[in-house]
Amino acid sequence: MPFSEFHGNFETVHRLREMMSRDHLPHAVVLAGGRGSGKYTLSLMLAQALNCLNPPNTDGLPDFCGSCANCTRIGQACDLDARFAEAVEARENLRETDKKETRIFVQTHPDVLVIPPDPPQMMIKVDQVRRVIATIYYRPAEAKEKVYIFTDSAFMKEAANSLLKVLEEPPEFATIFLLTENSGELLPTLRSRSMTFTLAALTGEEIEKDLAKHHPEWKPAQRELVARLCDGAVGRARNFDLEAYTAARQHALVILNSALRGGEHSEPFKITESYRTGAEGREKTEGLIHTLYSLLRDLMFVDSGAPELVRNTDIATELKRMAESADFEWLTAASDRLAEVERGMRRNLLRSLSLDAFAAGLEK
Ligand SMILES: [Zn+2]
């Protein structure tokens, strides 16, 4: 996936590649931009371009092949949510004592380390920065350039201060990317030692246009739906599993509708029964929970007189009808209960059981 696959922000990408071609890419780069603006995707692409074993040249600038050993392994980190969830799950399975000392990292290449915020506080912790310090001064083993990607600017104070020391004397063979939605959240001393590039999020129309190319089989209403669900994140929109989403949403609507009407149990129970344990069931249940959240949020928007913020635009009429019986209090209670189901899933409670309890507990 070369740079031409990166949608939007052409000038910024061009500038970064130009700096790379002159060997002037700064050792610390802040990529700032809203959710879905492509900060993470771009940082991985730059990591690939820095390390590609058969680097092609496009538009007279360095690019990457996407298929050599370095490109492939670095590219495996591209689904950050999935890699992060795997790392968290691996930690969950450790012994209690080891759990406390283990920090979350995503690493698919020995010389490229992705540092996400560490749960449950979802902050970058000092132990994570210590891992950076412990490795950054050794020459890369298989890459040309070591790359560190901090995916969020929520640093604990001690962590930020430790990172500052690295930025004061970075080795010549390492590049650190700091991703942030708002560069103001970074310590001014960190910012002053980095160069900041800002990425603009794509508008819904731009994404719809892109989807028309990548998914001509989708109807315009479906493209609009996906664009809205993906918050300006074009990569996510292109890979969106519309079929799975539509199926999950159908289930979510039955559960919510029967709770709002009251008294009718057989239909939702038939649905929750189909959500089994095991990896596949887990994914399916997560999809359902995600969809339930998205519907509850939309109902909240309708209730509060902001229908223009609704994401499931293709079922706007149905949402409007549902919102008539779903008041603010009920919606808040439903969101709380859903959070409980999520917590239960993390503790591996039987999925269908906790979904049943959710459905029954919502009844008016
Ligand atoms: Zn390559």
Ligand 1 centroid to Cα of residue 75, in Å, is: 10
**H/E stretch holding 16:** helix 10-21
Sheet holding 106-109, edge to edge: 106-109, 112-115, 146-150, 174-180, 28-32, 195-198
- Please tell me the distance between residue 22's alpha carbon and the centre of ligand 1 in angstroms: 19
Residue with tokens 């600017």, as numbered in its chain = 153
Residue type, 291: T
Rounded distance between C-alpha atoms, residue 255 and residue 360, angstroms: 9
The Å distance, Cα 66 to ligand 1 centre, comes to 5
pLDDT in tens, 252-270: 999 999 888 876 677 888 8
Ligand 1 center–CA 196 separation, angstroms: 26
**Which residues on neighbouring strands pair with residue 114, listed in sequence order?**
106, 149
Chain centre distance of CA 138: 30
Q: How far apart are CA 103 and CA 237, in angstroms?
A: 30
Q: Which residues of 153-164 are buried (b: 16+ CB within 10 A; e: fewer)?
A: bbbbeebbebbb
Determine the distance separating the centroid of ligand 1 and the alpha carbon of 211, expressed in angstroms: 27
Closest C-alpha among 255, 229, 236 to residue 338? 255
Q: Give, in order, the Cα–Cα distances in Å from 172 to each of 144, 269, 335.
A: 11, 60, 49
14-29 pLDDT tens trace: 999 999 999 999 999 9
**Pairwise CA distance, residues 48 & 42, whole Å:** 10
Output the CA 47–ligand 1 centroid distance in Å. 10
40: CA distance to ligand 1 center in Å? 18
Taking the centre of ligand 1 as the mean of its atom positions, its distance from the CA of residue 70, in whole angstroms, is 6
Q: For each of the chain's 364 residues, which pLDDT tens digit applies? A: 799 888 889 999 999 999 999 999 999 999 999 877 889 999 999 999 999 999 999 989 999 999 999 999 999 999 999 999 999 999 999 999 899 899 999 999 999 999 999 999 899 999 999 999 999 999 999 999 999 999 999 999 999 999 999 999 999 999 999 999 998 999 999 999 999 999 987 888 889 998 999 999 999 999 999 999 987 778 788 889 999 999 999 999 999 998 888 766 778 888 887 887 677 777 888 889 999 999 999 999 999 999 999 999 999 999 999 999 999 999 999 999 998 888 877 776 555 567 777 887 777 6
6 alpha carbon to ligand 1 midpoint, in Å?
16
What token pair was written down for 303? 């209730």
